[in-house]
Amino acid sequence: MGKSLKIELNLERFEQLEELPDQVRDLFRVAVEAREAAYAPYSNFHVGAALLLANGEIIKGNNQENAAYPSGLCAERTAVYYAGANYPEVEIVMMAISAKAKDKETDVPIPPCGACRQALAEYEVKQAKPIEVYFRGGSGPILKSSSVENLLPLLFTQKFL
C-alpha cells in the first residue's frame, strides 16, 4: 500500500453577515445586486460575485447563460476576467459570492465551481498574494477561505509548464 497523504482545507464559518467586517458586508451587498441582475433563463440559478481591488474599486460579475449552454459563463469568472482585462496591474483583495435558485430558499453556502477556482487561482499566483473568498447561498451562513489555493488543493499552475 502507498503512503497516505492528507491535505487539509481550512474554512471559517460565520452564522450571519453581521459577524463580518463592514468591508465584507458591503462587498456582499454588491454581490447580491449582481446576482439579481444575472442572466440565467435556463438554469434559473442566479449567482453574483463582487471583487474588491487594491485600489478600492469594486468589480461585479454574474452568470451569463446562452442558448448554446456551454457558451455561458459563471459569475466568478465574469468578474475576474473583467478585472484582468480592465485592471491588469491591480491586485485582487477579496471576493464575495452569493448564489440562489430562483424559486427556492438557498440557505447553505454555495462554493465556486472547480473551473472558477482554477481561473481565480491564476490571478492569485500572478499577484503572489492571497485572495480571500467568501461565499454564501441567498441567506444563511457564510464560509470564508483565506485564499483560493486553500479551496483548490493540488493546484495546477504555470510552474508545471
Q: Which position among 20, 27, 30, 40 is part of the footprint of ligand THU (CB under 6 A)?
A: 40
Concatenated DSSP letters for 48-113?
Answer: EEEEEETTS-EEEEE-B--SSGGG-B-HHHHHHHHHHHH-TTSPEEEEEEEEEETTS---S--PPP
Q: Does 45 bind ligand THU (CB under 6 A)?
A: yes
Catalytic status, residue 76? yes
Q: Is 120 in contact with 112 (CB distance < 8 Å)?
A: yes
Grid coordinates given for 130:
492571497
Binding mask 62-101 for ligand THU (x = CB under 6 A): -x-x------x-xxx-------------------------
Residue (47 or 52) nearer to ligand THU, CB = 47
Q: Does 59 bind ligand THU (CB under 6 A)?
A: no
Set 8, 18, 57, 76: catalytic member? 76
Q: Does 131 bind ligand THU (CB under 6 A)?
A: no
Number of H helices, E strands in the chain: 3, 6
Active site residues: 76
Residues lying near ligand THU in the complex (CB under 6 A):
40, 43, 45, 47, 63, 65, 72, 74-76, 112-113, 116
